[in-house]
Structure 1
Amino acid sequence: MMQPIFRIILIIVSLLTMSFMLRKIRQAKVQIEAAMFWVIVALILVVFSLCPAVADACARLLGIYSTPNFLFLFMIFLLMVKVFSMTLQVSQLESKQKELVQKIALAQKEQEELELRMQELLEASTAGEEEDGR
């Protein structure tokens, strides 16, 4: 069973997290997909706080005798899932970044080669005009 002070703290922290994320979404400082994880976690914690029987039942189902221990374990699990998800995203972004850097380098090399070729053609045509003028 959760102590009343623990429930109150959990509700306050959950509501603050939810309002912070919703404010950041409105300010366009965070993508909705990224913020939804935190909003959903906050909602789940509010449900666990307002209906401790749900948290107690989940704890008993998993064989955990203390509801606060279940909540801490639940949060650790969710954070591990989030870290894994973010690791995958970072890996994908690094691959895309590497690919884009390579494309930019190739484009710059092609541009330099074209500029060099244009300069050679201009010099050749200028030299040809000078010979015609003699």
Structure 2
Amino acid sequence: MTLGLQLILVVVALTTSFVILRSIRKSSLQIEESFFWLLFSLLLFVFAIFPNLIIFLAELIGFQSPANFVFLIIIFLLIVNQYNLTKKVSENEIKLRNLVQFIALSQSNENSEKTK
């Protein structure tokens, strides 16, 4: 792994950690959802600090370049995170629809009782 890639990984890891911790302090991000990003930045930092680990794993799996392995890991983790976010959005949409239906039924019951 080149020194340039190591530096990029360190900068990205530190920047990600800084942004996440700042968002938590400002209460714009829930702590539960920040775990993924903090672990993600920790993983990038470990990759940058121990490039021989990346080289070993890349050769073990059969990658020609350790950089390709790093990018594959990053893309995989982001896809997993995207799936989890999509699942949460779907669950929230179902809850919202149920809540809207409940409110509509409650209001229609109140209106029908007032007309009696």
Deviation at 1:115, TM superposition (A): 1.8
Which ranges in structure 1 are unaligned for 5 or more consecutive residues? 118-134
Report % sequence identity.
39
- Equivalent AA in structure 2 for residue 30 of structure 1: L
Structure-2-length-normalised TM-score: 0.95
Bigger RCO of structures 1 and 2 (CA < 8 A, at least 6 apart): 2
Opposite residue 57 of structure 1, the aligned amino acid is F
**TM-score (normalizing by structure 1):** 0.83
Map of 1:85-96 to 2, 5 A cutoff? 85-96=84-95
How far did residue 33 of structure 1 move? 1.3
Distance 1:59 1:21 in 2: 29
**CA offset at residue 6 of structure 1?**
1.3
Partner secondary structure for residue 99 of structure 1: helix
Q: Distance in 1 between matches of 2:60 and 2:114?
A: 71
Q: In the alignment, what sits opposite 2:77?
A: 78
> Which 5+ residue runs of structure 2 have no aligned equivalent?
none
- 2:108 corresponds to: 109
Equivalence for 1:9: 8
User: Which structure is larger by alpha-carbon Rg, 1 or 2?
Assistant: 1
* Displacement after TM superposition at 1:77 (Å): 0.5
How many pairs align? 116
3-state SS, counterpart of residue 58 of structure 2: helix
